[in-house]
Structure 1
Amino acid sequence: MKSVGLREEQKAGRRQSILEIARVKFESEKYADVTIEAIAAEAKLSPVTVYNYFGNKAGLLLALVSESDELLIAQLEAMIREDPGDLIESVAWFGQILRQHAMSYLSKQTWREVLAASIQFGSQDFGRSYAELDQVLIELMGSLIENLQSNGLLAKNIDRAALANTLFSLQNIRFFQFIADDNISNEMIDRTFRADLAGLAKAFGAPT
């Protein structure tokens, strides 16, 4: 009889195998053409097993994003600890890390499906879970702002939570623009985002 530890290890292995197969198929095929049945067949599992793990294709997308965000959060926390500099440099760096990590994990094509699902299923589990992941990133932006305030690079009377939400929302707009168009490079969006931040910095009286 298998031990509980072994069963859990095998379960985790199956889950990771399903996710990797799904990630590759989402990258190489049109999202609409990918089926749970095809993923299950490649994983040598029954479709019921895949449904039990993830529910549906949107659940697979969310699981991929969640897995990606665990690595992203660690990178952002390390960046914040490094005390990157003024408002423009630090927040632009935040955006760079996010975009570079996103592209190292999923293609623009797959991210477009993720963003579409976050809107389509906004009031369902997918949308709520995606919003929770974003909230973690907003809190990290807040930590970055706190760091700037502590170092005298941003006025301490600025509402940290409001500014974190504003900056993250602005970053998200540029991220969506970057994801939406295969012809827009990371460098192009970085220049645009830095121009956005320069305008905000002037408004807040921060160094530019």
Structure 2
Amino acid sequence: MPPAPIPERTTCETLAEWSQHVKNAMEVIDQPETEDNWDRMERSYLLLASVVRGGAYKLETDFVPGVRTIARPTNKAMASERTRLSGPAVELVSVIGARMGIKFEPLIPLYVPTILKLCTRSSKIYVSRAQACLKLFASHCRVPALVTLFKEAVTDKSQTLRISATDALHDFLSTSLRDGPPRMGKWVEDVEWIIKATARDATPETRKLSRRVFATYAQLWPERVNE
């Protein structure tokens, strides 16, 4: 008999409940992926996403240690050659980022580099999932640490990664135009550097996105345009 479907949301209101869910998941996901266990791993990631949607993220500081605990196996799962395992792992990270918002910042170094690497894959499935996740981070988390990673990404030899990073930066700035940008800092200079670099990119799509980024940048900081 197949296991019961995992609900969209599984209520989680206490640290004890969250800790138990993390412990149960780690018993499954923190082991080498095999033909015999990948489906249990898939289910574990789907359940964790359900638990996060069900309120675990509201635990805030008590929530973060659990997210750190699952980082290593989750990154491995996101990079898995099995799309049915990679997908739920990426979904979990997306759900966490969307709900934590700017509080996701200390977790960016743990998860976002793997998402960026997925944008270099030859499979459109991996790339589209990773792009959606990046755009979600850009619009929901919107912290300068993301811009630093985008700056590195637009110099990569992968066309799809350069496109993905430029597109995500556009979402970052568009949301900033609507809701207000983060505090001014070096990250604005990084945005300007990205605009100049992508305007000369060999890929037409990247150059097109670069023009959109510049247009939004000009609306945010018109006084800097002619500097």
Common topology (TM > 0.5): no
Output the TM-score relative to the length of structure 2: 0.29
Output the TM-score relative to the length of structure 1: 0.31
Structure of greater Rg: 1
Structure number having the greater helix percentage: 1
Which protein, 1 or 2, shows the higher relative CO under an 8 Å CA cutoff with sep ≥ 6? Answer: 1
